[in-house]
């Protein structure tokens, strides 16, 4: 089972929360593959923790990451916050196609737009918000905005009978370009509606498939995208060879359409992605918070903590504490408060001894905590924290759960308990005190999964974890754990929902079956190239109200052979019976032998005794002699002990 554990967890995570079923093309990718074609990322600024705050790095490409635009002049148009000051700066792209822009302090709070001429093609970025606490990267790629470039010549892409662009190994399809999709039934089209800015599916989107014949007459079919952002159009293998297909959908940024394509001659189904890749139409994005990092300009033994609100504005007067914890559990606290710039500067922290540090802040009656960091003798550390108002309204909290079950040794089942939470609105969820998240009844060996250890605290051997801080809004929070359950071939999972659950799944490996709790028959999860490394069955166990419990039963788990158990028990009983029988039948000394031993012992004691100690010994000897005389005066067979000895 060890070999199957990693595929089970990986497939389980992808199936529940990636949110697309485009069979390993639009969402699942080989390890190390690019998250999206660089042309689809062109012009979209990305906050990068590895980029120096207050700087912008522009990378110019001639179509792919292996084609840097070396020597190209990159322009950066700067505008101040009030628009009164503008400036255009230039830089030459280096060997990797990167051009760096620094010293932008005069334009902080304003915007910047990067531009470059790439072999006669003008590419521009979206406006980049300039901040003294955040660095940005942006790509400028030749061919961006022209999906036809990916599929071949314009003539080829406009022809419905031309072969659709097929992503190569490690690549992903371009939005709007249809591709063959192994694992999809012949004559079926999958249309994925995705938001590539956030990496999330677009649910309940009406997708239209326009079928146009050679006479120009068009037929429109419609389907609604599901929770994975996928709309299905089956039964297309009966279409005439000269029918052209175009998929379209009204997405948040406007109507997106695919290039014309055809399913003729395809032995498998096809798929196409309609995606949002432009700027968000909603309010301004919050900038990404950077984790604790060492900064050369901060003195050793010092920590600079920046506290901002939901609008990225600094908050004055927030109590801030740096806590040091050593391996013995001892902690020491260093306190300060933020100023008008939202920054607390805590200096003179001793660097003696080993230990981990974290920052704590108190806001809106809730405790906020940073991730752990260390201090050294070379430089100090900068910490950024975002705080929110808090709410106790459970209706703002949505969650999803998945139970992945597989057999282990010694009549144990491993449960990968994947649990993720999302808080709607602009307030963090905090009930006023830390609260526990229990594992399933009877769970042992509980461990916290990666990423969840930033939120959950766990004491050794405890069958529960504890949330000690508020759950921030607008982001997916991982609260996943894993634990063991004893079983006799059938495992029972009884778990009460701590939050309202909108989606519940159970995933079992081949050979296991969910016999209780499933809402529908099992399905196979999406997988790459139409095949899966491990056969999995995914069951829908439904939504669940807060406080209500899932009762699941998984059958078919591997148990230890019972034959050896019964053989061992029988052998143990036989040994116990033999020992008891031997004890009962052991030879026993006769009464005469016991009296003679008593007589000899009293005589030795009499010889060693003083004059004042002899009287009780003599009395005891007299009694022994009387008993011996009585035995000598009766027949030999009257002494049971003697009779026993005679038989021997």
CATH code of the domain in which 84 resides: 2.60.40.1120
What is the distance, to the nearest Å, from the Cα of residue 105 to the centroid of all Cα atoms in its chain? 38
pLDDT on residue 19: 37
Residue numbers of the domain that contains 318: 299-387
The pLDDT, as a whole number, for residue 106 is 84
Choosing from 387, 407, 434, the residue where a domain stops is: 387
247 and 318 housed in the same domain: no
pLDDT in tens, 277-286: 654 444 456 7
Pick the more confident residue, 287 or 393. 393
Query: Which token pair is 407?
Result: 């057999």
CA distance 383 to 96: 31
Judgement on whether residues 101 and 154 belong to the same structural domain of the protein: no
What pLDDT shows up at residue 532? 47
Contact by Cβ (8 Å): 174, 141: no
Which of 127, 135, 116, 110 is CA-nearest to residue 59? 116
505 has a pLDDT exceeding 80: yes
- Do residues 410 and 489 both lie within one domain? yes
Summarize the confidence of residues 491-511 as an average pLDDT. 92
**Rounded-to-integer distance, Cα 398 and Cα 545, Å:** 10
| Domain assignment present for 582 | no
Do 382 and 397 fall within a single domain? no
CATH code where residue 528 lies = 2.60.40
User: Is there a single domain that holds both residue 102 and residue 154?
Assistant: no
Based on the domain organization, do 90 and 217 belong to the same domain?
Answer: no
* Mean pLDDT of the chain, nearest integer: 81
- pLDDT greater than 70 at residue 140: yes
Is the pLDDT score of 373 beyond 90?
A: yes
Residues with Cβ within 8 Å of 411's Cβ and at least 6 positions away in sequence, in order, are 486, 487, 488, 559, 560
Q: How far apart are CA 512 and CA 506, in angstroms?
A: 11
* Strands 331-337 and 293-295, bridge-based pairing: unpaired
Structure confidence at residue 572 (pLDDT): 86
pLDDT digits (tens, 9 = 90+) for 13-29: 343 433 333 333 333 33
| pLDDT range class, residue 184, cuts 50, 70, 90 | confident
Of the candidates 470, 471, 415, 421, the residue with the CA atom closest to the CA atom of residue 447: 415
Task: Please give the average per-residue pLDDT across 581-587, as a whole number.
Answer: 75
Q: How many structural domains compose the chain?
A: 5
Question: Last residue of some domain: 123, 141, 159?
Answer: 141
- The answer on 303 and 272 residing in a single domain is no
Of 181 and 88, the structure prediction assigns the larger pLDDT to: 88
Give the pLDDT band (50/70/90) at residue 358: very high
Chain CA centroid to CA 569, Å: 44
Query: Looking at the domain assignment, is residue 528 inside a domain?
Result: yes
- Specify if 292 maps to a domain: no
Q: Provide the pLDDT confidence category of residue 566 given band limits of 50, 70 and 90.
A: confident
**Does any domain span residue 290?**
no
Residue 289 lies inside a defined structural domain of this protein = no
Task: Let me know whether 446 and 366 are in one domain.
Answer: no
Mean pLDDT of the 576-593 span: 78
Q: 189 Cβ partners below 8 Å, 6+ apart? A: 178, 209, 232, 233, 236, 245, 247, 263, 269, 270, 271, 272
What's the pLDDT score for residue 527? Answer: 55
In a shared domain, residues 153 and 256:
yes
d(CA 449, CA 471): 17
Give first-to-last CA distance, the chain, whole Å.
Answer: 64
Average pLDDT, stretch 349-362?
90
**547 φψ region: left (φ > 0), alpha (ψ -120 to 50), beta (else):** left
More confident residue, 84 or 171: 84
Which of 387, 408, 434 finishes a domain? Answer: 387
Pick from 451, 448, 450: nearest CA to 466: 448
Strands 456-457 and 464-467 come out as antiparallel
The alpha carbon of 418 is separated from its chain's Cα centroid by a whole number of angstroms, namely 7
- Say yes or no: 14 and 68 in one domain: no
Report, as an integer, the average pLDDT of 433-462: 91
Per the document, the length of the chain is 648
Residue 146 has pLDDT above 70, yes or no: no
For residue 249, give both structure tokens: 């959908």
pLDDT of 337 above 90: yes
Do 363 and 222 fall into the same domain? no
Residue 31 lies in a domain: no
CATH of the domain at 216: 2.60.40.180
Asked if 170 and 110 sit in the same domain, the reply is no
């Amino acid at each position: 089972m060890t070999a199957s554990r990693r595929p089970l967890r990986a497939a389980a995570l992808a199936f529940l929360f990636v949110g697309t079923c485009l069979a390993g093309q639009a969402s699942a990718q080989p390890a190390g593959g690019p998250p999206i074609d660089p042309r689809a990322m062109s012009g979209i600024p990305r906050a990068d923790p590895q980029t120096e705050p207050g700087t912008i790095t522009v990378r110019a490409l001639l179509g792919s990451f292996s084609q840097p635009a070396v020597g190209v002049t990159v322009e950066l148009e700067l505008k101040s916050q009030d628009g009164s000051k503008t400036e255009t700066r230039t830089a030459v792209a280096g060997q990797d196609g990167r051009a760096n822009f620094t010293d932008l302090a005069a334009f902080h709070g304003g915007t910047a737009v990067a531009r470059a001429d790439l072999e006669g093609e003008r590419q521009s970025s979206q406006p980049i918000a300039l901040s003294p606490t955040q660095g940005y990267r942006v790509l400028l790629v030749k061919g961006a905005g022209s999906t036809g470039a990916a599929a071949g010549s314009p003539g080829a892409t406009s022809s419905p009978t031309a072969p659709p662009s097929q992503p190569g190994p490690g690549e992903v399809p371009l939005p709007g370009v249809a591709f063959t999709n192994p694992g999809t039934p012949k004559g079926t089209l999958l249309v994925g509606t995705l938001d590539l800015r956030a990496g999330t599916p677009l649910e309940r989107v009406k997708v239209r498939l326009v079928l146009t014949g050679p006479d120009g007459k068009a037929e429109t079919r419609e389907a609604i995208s599901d929770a994975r952002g996928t709309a299905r159009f089956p039964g297309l293998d009966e279409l005439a060879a000269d029918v052209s297909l175009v998929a379209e959908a009204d997405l948040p940024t406007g109507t997106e359409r695919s290039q014309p394509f055809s399913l003729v001659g395809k032995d498998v189904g096809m798929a196409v992605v309609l995606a949002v890749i432009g700027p968000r139409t909603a309010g301004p994005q919050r900038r990404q918070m950077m984790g604790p990092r060492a900064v050369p300009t901060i003195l050793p033994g010092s920590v600079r903590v920046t506290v901002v609100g939901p609008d990225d504005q600094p908050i004055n007067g927030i109590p801030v504490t740096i806590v040091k914890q050593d391996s013995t559990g001892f902690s020491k606290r260093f306190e300060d408060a933020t100023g008008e710039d939202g920054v607390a500067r805590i200096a003179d922290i001793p660097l003696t001894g080993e230990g981990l540090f974290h920052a704590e802040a108190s806001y809106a009656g809730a405790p906020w905590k940073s991730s752990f960091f260390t201090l050294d003798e070379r430089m100090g550390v900068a910490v950024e924290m975002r705080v929110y108002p808090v709410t106790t309204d459970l209706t703002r909290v949505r969650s999803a759960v998945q139970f992945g079950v597989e057999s282990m040794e010694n009549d144990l089942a491993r449960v990968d308990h994947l649990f993720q939470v999302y808080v709607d609105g602009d307030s963090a969820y905090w009930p006023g005190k830390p609260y526990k998240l229990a594992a399933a009844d009877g769970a042992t060996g509980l461990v916290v999964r990666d990423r969840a250890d930033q939120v959950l605290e766990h004491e050794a051997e405890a069958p529960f974890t504890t949330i000690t801080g508020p759950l921030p809004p607008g982001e997916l929070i991982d609260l996943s754990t894993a634990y063991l359950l004893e079983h006799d071939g059938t495992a029972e999972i009884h778990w009460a929902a701590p939050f309202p659950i909108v989606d519940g799944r159970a995933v079992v490996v081949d050979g296991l079956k969910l016999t209780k709790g499933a809402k529908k028959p099992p399905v196979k999860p999406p997988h790459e190239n139409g095949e899966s490394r491990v056969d999995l069955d995914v069951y829908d166990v439904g939504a669940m109200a807060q406080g209500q419990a899932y009762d699941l039963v998984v059958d078919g788990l591997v148990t230890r052979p019972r034959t050896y158990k019964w053989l061992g028990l029988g052998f143990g009983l036989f040994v116990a019976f033999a020992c008891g029988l031997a004890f009962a039948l052991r030879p026993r000394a006769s009464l005469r032998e016991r009296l003679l031993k008593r007589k000899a012992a009293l005589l030795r004691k009499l010889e060693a005794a003083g004059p004042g100690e002899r009287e009780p010994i003599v009395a005891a000897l007299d009694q022994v002699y009387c008993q011996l005389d009585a035995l000598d005066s009766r027949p030999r067979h009257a002494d049971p002990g003697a009779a026993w000895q005679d038989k021997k």
